[in-house]
Structure 1
Amino acid sequence: MPINMHAAAGGEAALPRMRGALARPPATTEGPGGPSGLQRMRGTVTLSLRTPDQQEPAALISLDAPSAGSEEEPEKAMRGAVQPRDKAVSEASRAIADMAERLGVAPAVRDRALDVFRGMEERKGRAHHYYAKGAGRSGDALYAACLYVACRRAGAPRTFKELAAATRDGAASRKDIGRLITLIRKRLGDEAGGEAMDIGVVRAADYMERFGALLGMGDDEVRAVQEAARRMQDQLDVRRNPDSTAAAIIYMAMEKRAGAARSSIRDVSTATGVAENTIKQAYREISPHAVLLFG
């Protein structure tokens, strides 16, 4: 059947009606400033059929669709890389703040603990097993280890028992805290020249002010037990943990009190977190040197 190519008004050739072909959509004009002519559709291809004598492209491709290599993709990838670390720091900030409040840690020390955590996050690389929580475990051990390091460097140490009590896993986290402290020292120390980070040495005298405050000791008593701890360190060879030695010295000082002002060994144990039997053993070891310590 012949096709009439001159039936359209104004001399323009009419588009053929062919089965399966796409007819050119009519020109449209939107409001002021809107597009006219062929509607441009984002991410689609608009086909326009022409007769052989009309020299126009057979297909008009909308340029609005973003290509695979557009600038949006690197931005999305960057956001995806930053979000997990930001989330980890945010979670750590809340957890460390909660632990610090329960332990009576000063805000400046709390902030230093968060800085330790950030340092570990930046350097964890592939070896991030220290942050892997695992089944039935929490990330509290890492937060407690960061607090331990910060407290040590501030000269206000906390015992493993105190730190473990502030975690959700309780006493079960003590070993994890110890391992993580070792890892923190090595990992952050490497940045300073290949040696383990120096977090200071804990001495019995470092515990006296805090333990004394918990037991209601006055300033003079606190200074007396601090001086006793220094004398013991300089002149005696007592190989015990500094917290248990501090508890024993405080118990010796409490015995010098008169009447109701004296505190029992149970009171000292509750305030210091050191077991009663441990205090008794340390007391028996240092009590023969009472004159040297308090004379």
Structure 2
Amino acid sequence: MASNRGDGGGIRICCSAHPDAALIEDYRAGDQICSECGLVVGDRVIDVGSEWRTFSNEKANADPSRVGGSENALLNGTDLSTMIGPGTGSASFDEHGVAKYQNRRTMSSSDRALVNAFKEISNMADRINLPRTIVDRANNLFKQVHDGKNLKGRSNDAIASACLYISCRQEGVPRTFKEICAVSKISKKEIGRCFKLILKALETSVDIITTADFMSRFCSNLGLPTMVQRAASHIARKAVELDIVPGRSPISVAAAAIYMASQASDEKSKKTQKEIGDIAGVADVTIRQSYKLMYPRAAELFPEDFRFTTPIEQLPQL
């Protein structure tokens, strides 16, 4: 082995026979090897590989990691701690059979509340197939509300449900209150109250929902073809532009537009008000009220290239 002084004044390890040859580092053995002749010119190199070993006689469910769980930046106590595993030998127990070494409950009540809320948000998101980005935003919103103590007296589950609703709106994939309520243990009324309080407390906002936000998902869940979905989207948009449905919610307008488009299509695509209401989360009477406003001007609402199976004059008048 040879050592030369580098330009910066440090010591550079190199092969005595081939000082300019590149060295190969064998991290498993901890050696530095000359690429020309194979001479080991350095040893005791720090191993940067995995920090555990696996043996064939270990239990399959044993966790080989020795560095604890990953840190969660949203929790207050993110320092690493030592977790003592279950004792297996006689030296692990005293004369009364009690374990000598035990883990202490180091998690604060505040962090415990956060962990439970994050778990509830994740469970709700899984039930309606929401992506991780929405869960992360909802977790951040809950953390801000929790630290600011803005909603004292409200249950953490209600706050978590409202945070998930806001997160969906802000990420551009809004869900209805009834959809959030369906996967939550909280009533629609309570989620709505928390929603308003959170927006006020955090001084944040959400985009106004439109019929387009729900149309694709509703039509897909109803199994409607692309032609009907395109017609329903056009009908809803024109109804809003012509101010035919003032004061009606975008969800009820979307449901009524789907009903009108499906009734003008072939028999396989026709959907009843109840079928649409179950998917959209609105009552039959709500769909009828919006449909009655749209029906007199139906000729203005349909796209020009729509192929009618049922003429406009034969559509249900309700």
TM-score > 0.5, shorter chain as reference: yes
2:174 paired residue among 134, 137, 157: 157
Which of the numbers 174, 194, 197 marks the counterpart of 2:188? 174
Amino acid at match of 2:177: F
Decide which structure has greater helix share.
1
8 Å CA contact 1:145, 1:178 repeated in 2: yes
Question: How far, CA to CA, are the matches of 2:107 and 2:198 in structure 1?
Answer: 23
Does the aligned pair in 1 maintain the 2:277–2:283 contact within 8 Å? yes
Once residues 228 and 105 of structure 1 are traced to their aligned partners in structure 2, the CA distance between those partners, rounded to angstroms, is: 28
Cα displacement (A) at 1:81 = 10
Cα deviation per residue 1:110-148 (whole Å; 9 max; x = unaligned)? 222112111212222xx44154x3xxxxx3221110111
Tell me, yes or no, if the aligned pair for 1:205 and 1:226 is still in contact at 8 Å: yes
Q: Which amino acid in structure 2 is aligned with residue 184 of structure 1?
A: I
Unaligned stretches of 5+ residues in structure 1 = 1-74, 134-138, 190-196
Matched, 1:140 2:150: no
Asked whether the 8 Å contact 1:100–1:110 carries over to 2, the reply is yes
1:232-271 deviation digits (Å, cap 9, x = unpaired) = 2222142111111111111111112212332222211111
Contact 2:142–2:163 at 8 Å: present in 1 too? yes
Q: Is the 8 A contact 1:204 1:243 kept in 2?
A: yes
- From 226, 229, 233, give the equivalent of 2:236: 229
Which residue number in structure 2 is paired with residue 99 of structure 1? Answer: 124
Q: CA deviation at 1:224?
A: 2.9
In structure 2, list runs of 5 or more residues that go unmatched: 1-78, 80-103, 304-318
Alignment of 1:80-119 (within 5 A): 83-119=108-144
Q: Is 1:293–2:301 an aligned residue pair?
A: yes
Residue identity (%): 35
Q: Higher Cα Rg: structure 1 or 2?
A: 1
Equivalent residues, number: 200
In the superposition, the TM-score normalised over structure 1's length comes to 0.62
After TM superposition, give the deviation of residue 155 of structure 1 in Å. Answer: 2.1
CA distance in 1, matches of 2:131, 2:296: 37
264, 271, 275: which one pairs with 1:267? 275
> Quick check: 1:245 aligned with 2:256?
no
Aligned-residue RMSD, C-alpha: 2.3
Q: Following the alignment from structure 1 to structure 2, what is the Cα–Cα distance between the partners of residues 290 and 176?
A: 38
Select 2:201's aligned residue among 154, 177, 187. Answer: 187
Distance in 2 (CA, whole Å) between partners of 1:218 and 1:179 is 38
TM-score by length of 2: 0.58
Q: Distance in 1 between matches of 2:120 and 2:265?
A: 41
CA distance in 2: counterparts of 1:261 and 1:233, whole angstroms: 24
Structure 2 match to 1:218 = 225
Matched AA of 1:98:
N
